[in-house]
Each structure stands twice: as structure tokens, then as C-alpha cells.
Chain A
Amino acid sequence: MARERYIKLLLMACASLSFLAILLIFIFILRESMPALTKVGFGNLFTSTDWNPDKGSFGILAFLNGTILTTLGGLIIGAPLGVGTAIFLDQVAPKKMATVIRRGIELLAGIPSVVIGWFGLIILVPFIARITNSSGYGIAAASVVLAVMVLPTITALSVETLRSLPIELKEASLAMGATRWQSIRTVLLPAAREGILVAVILGMGRAIGETMAVQMVIGNSRQFTLSLFKPTATLTSRLVTDMGEAPPGVFRSSLFAMALVLLIFAMLLIFSVRMITRKRKA
């Protein structure tokens, strides 16, 4: 009996490892970002668009702006495409075709981000450059790349939600004489609303965190811009470019401050997902 108790404790320790991991990551990143938070100051770090480590300016607003705009852009393109594909798979497509497309979406989810980034760099960036007469790098290119990357996440989760709806819902609405579109619009989508919202939020998490693919197409400049076609940077792309060269000190520490922002974003997203699903259960 004592042995069984030890085993239970051991298994519980395994389960608690996820908490330990999050805690350790939080502590280490907070500790490493302390110099930047205290020396540069909270306000300066988050409200200045001037990032010039050689001259001692560490404002990350330009990259925060880049992260927000590319994420929004990716969702504006990717969310309708993902939810639309999910509805197509669940409601419209012939069964065999739906299977093929579902596998295709799984494949798309498996394509490494460096490969998608490289694809964006050699196809998308020159294309945007030609039609807009710019360098082609920037928020527009990053948004398209992110749309491709959030598509599988949003599709898979939306399909799961649509499938979990009771079949009677659809049957009842069709029996009342509704067309397929009417029953999708007035019955299925409202019933799947929370699930689809969760799918989009988790897609957002993927977009915020995507690093390599965005870094390859956004141009990596430190300027603040609202233009879709000017090179800029995101938190993740700045982090991955500068980490290799940053000497220990405030420069390196401000990179960790960016990671801290990303970590807080991730936890906020999960928190909001929890709130939504709890409301649904209640």
C-alpha cells in the first residue's frame, strides 16, 4: 500500500511539472528583464518607439505595434478562411473530398515555419514589391504568412466545434424548410459561436508567437510604422535577431522584457479562453 502511495506521488509530480515549468520560465524571464525594467523604466520601455541599443535607447513600442498589426492582419485574412473552410468541410463538401481537405489541412499545420517563411520570402515578398512598388517587406507580407499559419489551427478547432453540435439542430432547421445557408447562418453559427471564438483566440496565440516566418518577411527594421508595406519588426522577430548579438546588460535585458510581454500575452489569451468556456458550461 505504501508503494502505491509513492507511485501516486510520483505521477502527481509528473503532472505538476507543467506548473513548475511555467513558474521557472516566469521567474527566469522576470529576473533577466529586471535591469531593463528598472534602468530604462517601465514607461520608457513601453511608450518609446526609439530602439537604438548602441545609443542607449530601448523603446519597444515599434515592435509591440508590429506584433499587434501583423496579428490583426493575419486574423483578418486567416479567420474567415479558416472558419469558412471548417463550414465547408462540415456542411458543404462531399464526404470523400472533406477527408482529403482535412488531411491537407493537417499537412499544412505540419509545415515548419522556416519553410513557410522561405516560401514567403521568395514568392510573396517579390510579388508585393512588384504590385506596390515598395521593398515588399513589411506588415502586409507578414500578415499573409501568418494567415497561412493560423488557418490550420482555426479550421481544426472550428470543425471540432461544429461536429460536436447535436445533429438534431441541423435536422430541425432543415425540416422547417430552411435552406442550407439559412440553417448555417441562423442555427449552426450561433450555436458554435463560443467554440469558434476560442478557435480564433488560439489562432491569435499562434500568430503572436510566430517567429521565424515573420522574421524572414517583415524586413527587420526598427522603425515604427502604420504602413503595410514598410519594413518594421515584431517582438518575436526582434528577439530572435538581436539575441545572438546582445552583450549582457541592459540591451540583453530589454530583450527579455519583450519575452515577458509575450508570456503575459499567452497567459491572458488562455485566461480569456477559460472565461469563455466556463460561461458556456454554466
Chain B
Amino acid sequence: MKAGRADRIATIVFWSIGLVSMAILAFIILEIFGRGLVTAVSPSFFAGQPATNQAGGGVGPMIVSSLYLAALTMLISLPVSIGAAIYMAEYAREGKFNNFIRFCLDSLATLPSIVFGIFGLTLFVVTFKWSYCLLAGAFTLALLNLPILLRGAEESIKQVPQTYREASMSLGANRWITIKKVVLPSAMPGVITGTVLPIGRIMGEAAAVIYTTGLFIRAIPLSPFDPAAPLAGYIWYAQTEATVPDYRQIVNGGAAILLILVFLINFSARRFARFYAKRKQLEVKL
């Protein structure tokens, strides 16, 4: 049986490919945690101030920068992308305009993040004279995240059953009232779930932030116009410039913290999605 043997070989090959993919993931996670976890969990590191010339610096202000930047970015991009998603899902008809907007969104999604970075540098930092600050980074990342957020929101809105809209319209509500009172409330949990994962991406982004928020700070940023140094950018900076003698330890610890943050976000996104799915099942039963 030639076909049988080929089938067995193919099965073995596919199993190996699947296991190799998992092995890569496991290897990366184990190495990063193995090297950095001890540093990452020590309070003098995750809450400490960075040092400039001697060893023993921490990354406290960098973690604050990452969280602050993520919050600001969401504040800017969420309303806009939900608005755009409503338009694309509820108002726009299939046609030239719609097609063109999708082309723009796809191009935006494929554009390298460093290109966003130097665009943010020219527009916000230089032309608007904001200099390096959180807000410049947040606007830059808002553009970068627009396609992903929009797609998530649009899909949730499209999942709202058509009968909901029909019921509302038949009660005499116009389109906007229907969207505001019926469609958005039932789409909202899905929309929120769709925004959690992009937060992880914002936290991991380095190329787009180093030329917009800045690379190194010692004080915790308070105002959106303060310079900042998100963790991902700082890891890159510490590794490339190596201004402190213990930079390896700092990068190891910082990479472990970054992984923990991203995994936490990933995990909560999934919990949220599951919770939402359960609630939806309940609704259908009722």
C-alpha cells in the first residue's frame, strides 16, 4: 500500500511541524523567564529608579510609562474606531467608498511600525513642537492600532442579530436611536473584548515609541506632555547603548516583566471573551 505509507509519513511530518512550533514557543518563554524572572520579581527592580552610570537600576518609571501610554492610546483611539466601525457596519453600503476605506485600513495595518514612529516624530514632536512626550506616542500608536480596533469593533457590531434592529425599527425608532439603544449595548462586551489584545500590542511596541515618547527618564511621568520611556523601548535602548554595566540583567528582567504583562493581558482577554460567551448563551435561553 503506497498511499498508506505516504499517509503515515505525512502524518509524522505534520506532527513534527506542530510540535516544532510549540517547542519554539516553549523555548523562548523558558529562556526569557529562566534568565529574568528572579530579577523581575525583586521590588528594587520593578519599582526602582533607573540608574545612569552605575549598576543596580530599576524600571519603575518605565512600567508606569507603558501603562500610562496604553491608557492614553486607548482613550484616543477607542471612540474613533468605534465610530468608524459603526459607520462601516451600519451605514456604509458595499461600493467604491467602502472598498477604498478598507484598502486604506489594510495598508495602515501593513505599514511598518518604525514608519509610524518617524511620522509621529515629524508631525507631533517636531512640527507641533510637543517634543518627546506621552501624548505624541499615544497619537502615533492610536494610528497604528486603528485598523485592529476597528475590525474587532466592526465584527462585534455585525454579530448583533438583524432581528434586534428590525424590532427596534418597527417600534418607530430611527436608525441612530436603534444603534444607540439596541445595537451598541449588545455589541459592547464584544467591542471591549476586542480592545484588550491590542493593549498588549501597545505595551510591546518599541519601534513606534522610541522617537515619539523618548527613551530614558528617571522621574515618573505625570502629565501627558511629560517625556516617557515605555518598557519595550527602554529594553531596546539598554541593550543597544549599554550605558550601565549590568545592562544584561536589566534587559533580562525587563523582558520577563514585559512577557508577564503581555500574558496577563492575553489571559484576561480570553477570560473576558468566555464570560461574554456564557452571558450570551444565557440571553438566548431567556
Contacts and interface: CB of A to CB of B under 8 A. Distances in A.
Interface of A: 1, 3-4, 7-8, 10-19, 21-22, 24-25, 28-29, 32, 80-81, 84-85, 87-89, 91-93, 101, 103-108, 110-119, 121-123, 148, 151, 155, 179-182, 184-185, 202, 205, 208-212, 215-216, 236, 239-241, 243-244, 255-256, 259, 262-263, 266-267, 269-271, 273-274
Contact of A107 (B150, B174, B205, B266): B266
Interface string B112-138: 111111110111000000000000000
Q: Which of A105, A118, A216 has the most CB of B within 10 A?
A: A118
A-B complex: 10 closest residue pairs judged by Cβ atoms? A209-B112, A112-B204, A14-B83, A84-B17, A181-B10, A88-B18, A179-B7, A11-B87, A14-B84, A211-B207
B91 A12 contact: yes
B71 interface: no
Nearest to B106: A270
B279 interface: no
Given A112-B204, A119-B31, A209-B113, A4 B174 contact: yes
Interface residues of B, number: 84
Interface string B73-104: 00000001101101110011000000011011
B214 to A, nearest CB: 11
Contacts of A208: 112
Contacts of A148: 24, 28
A123 B24 CA distance: 12
B146 A21 contact: yes
B28 A111 contact: yes
Contacts of B3: 179, 181-182
Interface centre among B117, B122, B175 (most CB of A within 10 A): B122
A75 to B, nearest CB: 15
Contacts of A32: 122
B100 to A, nearest CB: 7
B92 to A, nearest CB: 7
B273 to A, nearest CB: 12
A256 B117 CA distance: 11
Contacts of B14: 84, 87-88, 91-92
B204 A19 contact: no
B89 to A, nearest CB: 10
A190 to B, nearest CB: 16
A interface secondary structure, majority: helix
B60 interface: no
B167 interface: no
A4 B28 CA distance: 52
Given A111-B28, A112-B232, A209-B110, A101 B18 contact: yes
Interface stretch (B38-46, B50-58, B220-228, B257-265): B257-265
B22 interface: yes
B9 to A, nearest CB: 8
Nearest to B88: A15
A175 to B, nearest CB: 15
Contacts of A91: 14
A3 B17 CA distance: 57
Contact of A243 (B4, B118, B255): B118
B7 A4 contact: no
Interface string B209-244: 011000000000000000000001001100110000
